[in-house]
Structure 1
Amino acid sequence: MTEQDFSVPLDAPKYYRPDPSYREQSWIGDYEEAYQRFIADPDGFWRERAAEIEWFEPFDRVMEWDFPYARWFLNGKLNITHNCLDRHVQKGRANKVALFWRGEQGEEKAYTYSQLLRNVSAFANALKRMGVKKGDRVCIYMPVVPEQVIAMLACARIGAVHSVVFGGFGVNALNQRIRDSGSKVVITSDVSMRRGKEIQLKPIVEEAVVNAPSVEAIIVHRRGTPMVELHSEIELDFYELLERESNYCEPESMDAEDPLFLLYTSGTTGSPKGIIHACGGYAVGTQYTTKYVLDVKEDDVYWCTADPGWITGHSYVVYGPLLNGATVFFTETTPDFPDHGIWWKLIRDYGVSIFYTAPTAIRMFMRVGEQWSDRYDLSSLRVLASVGEPLNPEAFEWFYHHIGKDRCPIVDTWWQTETGMHMITTMVGEPMRPGFAGKPIPGVVADVVDMDGRSVEAGNGGFLAIKRPWPSMLRTVYNDDERYRKYWTTLDSLYTATDLAVKGHDGNIMVIGRADDLIIVAGHNIGTAEVESALVSHEAVAEAAVIGVPDPVKGNQIKAFAILKDGYAGSDRLKSDLRYHVRMTVGPIAMPGEIEFVDSLPKTRSGKIVRRVLRAKELGMDPGDTSTLED
């Protein structure tokens, strides 16, 4: 790949610079100075970060590397829930709100740190009474409710490995994950709420466990009216279990390398991968990045819009914020129900100061217009953040101007289920460059390399690679270690999940997308993201996805799928305008041969467009694993 393959204005970059007070008051301070301290003494850097949590027994060494396997904080003993709950209760945060929750129907719940500890302890005792022990797997299939967080923490309290499955999955996807993990218990709710409708979860679980011989019991959080009946031989009520138990459970002493949780993520092909994260490294990584990247402070009200069923929810709804003693707001509401102003209303009502969401949501708000956000006072906001896919420049600009009111830094984070924590971003207080995620955070050595693993020159594109182990890295793929090894052997001795990126002359990195999101047109490599970015920069387009379809002359031609903003109608004239717009923005080689106007695009729940589904539909092929799709 060469510079001409990417339509990036590398020679005339645009920056936004936050008020100097942001850097002065941030935990990280000066980024370059902090990064050089890490490079000079990596073990010393991580030893300092590890000292910010409490250990039952101190570790002997920071890290042991036996390619491609790492062990972190060797022989250290801890429990992540002691660090999320007990130590805050013991150090003056007993009556501080840990969780604010709002249901779709307007229900509200709040838990102080002492209340959350009591609930987690009681449920942990209930699991122990049922025979769940250290190392057992527990499947959690629930909507976004406080009981989901309580169940996760209760498992971690006793050393059980939780496998959280997103509550929107169907029978086959749930059964596959239960069977692969060998889960002993399934925890669910009878219903979830979505856009005013009750979605029945219990019947899905009942069907999913039919061919899952490892399951001994199902725990049901009953919230529907009338109360659903339980099958006494296998089903138990969540609150009946909780209320009969003692409200203190001694936290299990866990080795730093003991597994904490198992989380399934979909690859582009094949069955879902069960990613294993370890107790010690994951705790250190998520505590560090929540504090230093998102800049969480004692009086912040923090809202990450992710579902706890995904890694963003694990790391930045549950564990990272609670490790820092934060006040976390989370909600069952979708961003468009009962109207497109609900999220802005919640920010106003709860005084949210840190708002972490996905580019997909931002582009949806762009589509309906800023008149919705303008109705509400958003002056409580201090930091904005983005996750899930690259934040295109147009979405950055809208987010910065209309939500941040030209004052809030935007932290555009690149990381993965496999990394467990943030890896690349622009730290709070540093100059922000629209379209570029930023630089490796202190603690991470990242680069853009060619197929041989050699660093590319600034201004060029290549594969995004991580050159050193980090504490919260995945330890293996459950029951499939060979899939784990591929992360480190695809490029020689470097970690890669085959994302493409461009390295700017200023050291900032633009993440382009997956390597399989390249289209080769007449011998030219065209990144899907650059064509999509050109399309959404047109005033009529809210979202876009492009794929390559076979062409007898060019090998491939580009087909685009576009969602239009409200007030615009699809027409042949608009198609011609869009082709011309792409030609002028990217170049004639990138002009779509065909444009189709659509109402929606296939996406994962984290907001990533799954282009292979579009490609498979276009070519009449099997799309492969679609269990992680939103619709």
Structure 2
Amino acid sequence: MSKIEVLLGEKRVFYPPEKLVQASNVKQWMDAHNIPDIETLHKRSQDIQWFWGEVEKDLVEWYTPYDKVLDDSNKPFFSWFTNAKYNIVHDALDRHIGTPTEDKIAYIFESEQGIVSKLTYLDMYHEVNRLANALKSLGVSKGDRVALFMPMIPALPIAMLACAKIGAIHLAVFSGFSAHSLQERINDSGAKILITADGFWRKGKQIDLKALAKEAVNKTDIKNTIVYQWANNDFPMGESDLLWHELIKDQPDVCETEVMDSNDTLFILYTSGTTGKPKGVVHVHGGYAVGIAMTLKWVFDIKPNDIWWCAADIGWITGHSYIVYAPLMLGVTSVLYEGAPAYPKPNRIWEMIARHNVTVFYTSPTSIRMHMRLGDEWTKRDDLSSLRLLGSVGEPINPEAWMWYYTTIGKSRCPIMDTWWQTETGNFVLTPLPLSPLKPGSVVGPLPGYGAKVNDAQGHPVEEEGGNLVLTNPWPSMLHTLYNEPERYVEHYWNEAGEFLSGDIARVDSDGYFWVQGRGDDVLNVSGHRIGNSEVESALVSHPKVSEAAVVGAPDDIKGESITAFVLLKMGVKTEDSLINELRNHVAEEIGKLARPDKIYFVDDLPKTRSGKIMRRVIRSLLLAKAVGDISTLANPEAIKEIEEAIVK
């Protein structure tokens, strides 16, 4: 890899209010452990056994204690809190019952149509227990996989918790995915039960989720599909279909929580890769619980009276960790929203912040850039004075968007916790703390207990230039393995030095601040969603008129990246304009609407290496009118002209 040019030279620094610093959860923890400053905290936290042993005391209740904080005798298969007996549902729900928290609001839910409902912790406990008992009545038991294909409604966290309660393993699939994508994940996991909904609303339109679910379960081993009636649309009941409300109506509202080992699997979440099928990332009960609870408590300084809104989708890791499990563990009230962020009016989310008195708000740079474009007039209509902390997640945030978020939404008084992490990490890794000086666009650095550096192509640490971001310490919430693919886990994520390969490009400036620059592999980042180039290419090639395709990303002011496809048609197929929409719709059917190419160019050749690999780097450089760099391995240099001519047509 050649040296990566550094274009960003951000010098502005913003300091948190002293009152916030002194009252912060992390400062209280430091004081309790006689740690005078952040530098000392980072130094002491590198004693992993001591640090995580102290951290977990404030966050989890084990059924039986662990033998050892970390067992690293079988690297890179790390075991945390070994031989402890535990179930994350104990901390998320069970231990709140019989305390004042049971009457506290767990979720303020708002539908896209504006209907607001509230569920207390006791409500959640009873609903989870009823569904857990219903699942047991269907023969679901410890270790069984249950697929979830649901919209952003309270039934989704209830379903996740019900699975975990009885020791079943949930795999949530983003409701924007296609039937094919759902089917692929069901088959890979061996799920026997699917929980879905009849439909939901998005930008005023009703999405027929049940129809997609019905299509997906063909050629799978799904025994029953449980349907939650949310949109109240008419749908034909299949022989194996069961209605959620009918299934749970006679079930008791008490259910014994399955006692698990700390390292038993909690869930599988599939993430896109550069080649082959999606990877089934495995997270376990114990270490995951400690990591997510610590990071939410420390980074976003969550207090008992906060109203927390993580405006992500539960179908992704952000929602798993910071809409479902960590907020419930901390006993906080969360906002849960079904719909689109600017519907029916551009100020929908600002209106909701004001209406529900949200104090801590966490969203994506895509959403921030979209609202920037809509104009400041829409941010001035609502009282945002309840906010005290802001956050960003999903992709790097450019300094201009950071400043707009800080000044326009936060009124220059709400520090921004710009977080970097992945499905594989389980929780925030590079992020500020409430006591950190901030640079617009920087994630500051690794949290206490973590280690990170930027390496050049030879594995040597570098400063002030781009390189490969690697993590140097194991951490409790790390992925346990890849489902049924331990060899792929070792090969894909670990280098010979025992460092975790993030796949991202970053740099460290002279002050030690980290700046994440984007993906180092061929994974697209569209509106915070990671989509494998190869998946989109495979979807295009599955069309009967297409012989080959190359997909690259281009910068997009709103989405972060837009998808551009270069397509070779089969001999005799005419390049008609109507075919572009046909291919876009085909990709939507194969993968999901979020993966539809924004632009499609028809070409007769694609630049390839001598081994036949498509050189996406060259194609992307041509698309962005940049120098293509080293093309010594290019087998067909005439293809460059082919791409150039297609772009300028």
- TM-score, normalised to structure 2, is 0.79
1:355-394, CA deviations, whole angstroms, 9 ceiling, x for partnerless residues?
0000000000011111111110000001100000011101
Give the structure 1 partner of residue 536 of structure 2: none
Say if 1:365 and 1:47 are closer, same or farther in 2 by CA, change over 3 A: same
Give the structure 2 partner of residue 459 of structure 1: 464
Match of 2:176 among 168, 176, 183: 168
Give the match's secondary structure for 1:236: strand
Say if 1:563 and 1:184 are closer, same or farther in 2 by CA, change over 3 A: same
Match of 2:283 among 277, 288, 297: 277
Give the structure 2 partner of residue 409 of structure 1: 415
1:76 aligns with 2:74: no
Partner Cα distance (1:163, 1:117) in 2 = 21
Instruction: Name segments (4+ residues, structure 1) moved above 4 Å.
Output: 1-4, 558-565, 609-624
Give the structure 1 partner of residue 432 of structure 2: 426
Residue 230 of structure 1: CA displacement? 2.3
Give the structure 2 partner of residue 549 of structure 1: none
In the alignment, is the contact (CA less than 8 A) between 1:68 and 1:488 conserved in 2? no
Say if 1:143 and 1:618 are closer, same or farther in 2 by CA, change over 3 A: farther
Partner Cα distance (1:127, 1:149) in 2 = 15
1:187 aligns with 2:207: no
1:15 aligns with 2:3: no
Say if 1:367 and 1:517 are closer, same or farther in 2 by CA, change over 3 A: farther
Give the structure 2 partner of residue 537 of structure 1: none
Give the structure 2 partner of residue 6 of structure 1: 6
Say if 1:617 and 1:361 are closer, same or farther in 2 by CA, change over 3 A: farther
- Aligned pairs for 1:37-436 (under 5 A) are 37-39=44-46, 41-51=47-57, 52-65=59-72, 66-212=74-220, 214-231=221-238, 233-436=239-442
Partner Cα distance (2:320, 2:418) in 1 = 18
1:3-49, CA deviations, whole angstroms, 9 ceiling, x for partnerless residues?
88111327xx211112111111111124323222212x221111122
Match of 2:491 among 486, 506, 524: 486
In the alignment, is the contact (CA less than 8 A) between 2:454 and 2:466 conserved in 1? yes
Residue 228 of structure 1: CA displacement? 3.8
> What letter corresponds to residue 275 of structure 1 in structure 2?
V
In the alignment, is the contact (CA less than 8 A) between 1:612 and 1:623 conserved in 2? no
Give the structure 2 partner of residue 592 of structure 1: none
> What letter corresponds to residue 489 of structure 1 in structure 2?
W
In the alignment, is the contact (CA less than 8 A) between 1:453 and 1:494 conserved in 2? no
Partner Cα distance (2:12, 2:377) in 1 = 27
In the alignment, is the contact (CA less than 8 A) between 2:191 and 2:222 conserved in 1? yes
Say if 1:6 and 1:517 are closer, same or farther in 2 by CA, change over 3 A: farther
1:472 aligns with 2:477: yes
Partner Cα distance (2:509, 2:603) in 1 = 35
> What letter corresponds to residue 296 of structure 1 in structure 2?
I
Which runs of 5 or more structure 2 residues have no equivalent in the other structure?
28-36, 527-551, 560-583, 589-593, 607-612, 616-649
Residue 561 of structure 1: CA displacement? 5.8
1:331-372, CA deviations, whole angstroms, 9 ceiling, x for partnerless residues?
012112101100000000000001000000000001111111
Say if 1:396 and 1:452 are closer, same or farther in 2 by CA, change over 3 A: same
Partner Cα distance (2:326, 2:175) in 1 = 22
Give the match's secondary structure for 2:408: helix
In the alignment, is the contact (CA less than 8 A) between 1:487 and 1:497 conserved in 2? no
Residue 614 of structure 1: CA displacement? 6.6
Give the structure 1 partner of residue 610 of structure 2: none
- Aligned pairs for 1:499-518 (under 5 A) are 499-516=504-521
In the alignment, is the contact (CA less than 8 A) between 1:453 and 1:491 conserved in 2? no
Partner Cα distance (2:95, 2:38) in 1 = 29
Partner Cα distance (2:135, 2:119) in 1 = 21
1:511-542, CA deviations, whole angstroms, 9 ceiling, x for partnerless residues?
01111379xxxxxxxxx99xx9xxxxxxxxxx
Residue 488 of structure 1: CA displacement? 3.8
> What letter corresponds to residue 170 of structure 1 in structure 2?
S
Q: Give % identity.
A: 43
Give the match's secondary structure for 1:499: strand
Give the structure 2 partner of residue 28 of structure 1: 26
> What letter corresponds to residue 120 of structure 2 in structure 1?
T
Partner Cα distance (1:28, 1:284) in 2 = 15
Say if 1:510 and 1:210 are closer, same or farther in 2 by CA, change over 3 A: same
Partner Cα distance (1:454, 1:386) in 2 = 30
Give the match's secondary structure for 1:438: coil
> What letter corresponds to residue 421 of structure 1 in structure 2?
N
Partner Cα distance (1:113, 1:59) in 2 = 28
Give the structure 2 partner of residue 555 of structure 1: none
Q: How many residues are paired up?
A: 542
- Aligned pairs for 1:557-596 (under 5 A) are none
> What letter corresponds to residue 19 of structure 1 in structure 2?
P
Give the match's secondary structure for 2:129: helix
Give the structure 2 partner of residue 546 of structure 1: none
1:527-572, CA deviations, whole angstroms, 9 ceiling, x for partnerless residues?
x99xx9xxxxxxxxxxxxxxxxxxxxxxxxx99665599xxxxxxx
Give the match's secondary structure for 2:25: coil
> What letter corresponds to residue 16 of structure 2 in structure 1?
P
In the alignment, is the contact (CA less than 8 A) between 1:414 and 1:422 conserved in 2? yes
Say if 1:140 and 1:425 are closer, same or farther in 2 by CA, change over 3 A: same
In the alignment, is the contact (CA less than 8 A) between 2:274 and 2:522 conserved in 1? no
1:475-506, CA deviations, whole angstroms, 9 ceiling, x for partnerless residues?
11112222211244346321012211110111
Say if 1:82 and 1:564 are closer, same or farther in 2 by CA, change over 3 A: closer
Partner Cα distance (2:599, 2:442) in 1 = 26
Give the structure 2 partner of residue 542 of structure 1: none
In the alignment, is the contact (CA less than 8 A) between 1:81 and 1:251 conserved in 2? yes
- Cα-Cα RMSD: 2.7
In the alignment, is the contact (CA less than 8 A) between 2:367 and 2:558 conserved in 1? no
Say if 1:217 and 1:322 are closer, same or farther in 2 by CA, change over 3 A: same
Partner Cα distance (2:55, 2:277) in 1 = 36
Partner Cα distance (2:596, 2:40) in 1 = 40
Partner Cα distance (1:209, 1:296) in 2 = 41
In the alignment, is the contact (CA less than 8 A) between 2:198 and 2:232 conserved in 1? no
> What letter corresponds to residue 445 of structure 1 in structure 2?
G
Partner Cα distance (1:71, 1:124) in 2 = 28
Say if 1:353 and 1:619 are closer, same or farther in 2 by CA, change over 3 A: farther
Say if 1:403 and 1:63 are closer, same or farther in 2 by CA, change over 3 A: same
Partner Cα distance (2:298, 2:601) in 1 = 42
Which runs of 5 or more structure 1 residues have no equivalent in the other structure?
519-527, 533-557, 566-599, 604-608, 625-631
Residue 229 of structure 1: CA displacement? 4.5
Residue 619 of structure 1: CA displacement? 8.6
Partner Cα distance (1:496, 1:392) in 2 = 24
> What letter corresponds to residue 26 of structure 2 in structure 1?
I
Partner Cα distance (2:432, 2:43) in 1 = 16
Partner Cα distance (1:514, 1:564) in 2 = 18
- TM-score, normalised to structure 1, is 0.82
> What letter corresponds to residue 85 of structure 2 in structure 1?
K
In the alignment, is the contact (CA less than 8 A) between 1:158 and 1:251 conserved in 2? yes
Give the structure 2 partner of residue 444 of structure 1: 450
Say if 1:221 and 1:564 are closer, same or farther in 2 by CA, change over 3 A: closer
In the alignment, is the contact (CA less than 8 A) between 1:94 and 1:113 conserved in 2? yes
Say if 1:610 and 1:147 are closer, same or farther in 2 by CA, change over 3 A: closer
In the alignment, is the contact (CA less than 8 A) between 2:109 and 2:117 conserved in 1? yes
Give the match's secondary structure for 2:442: coil
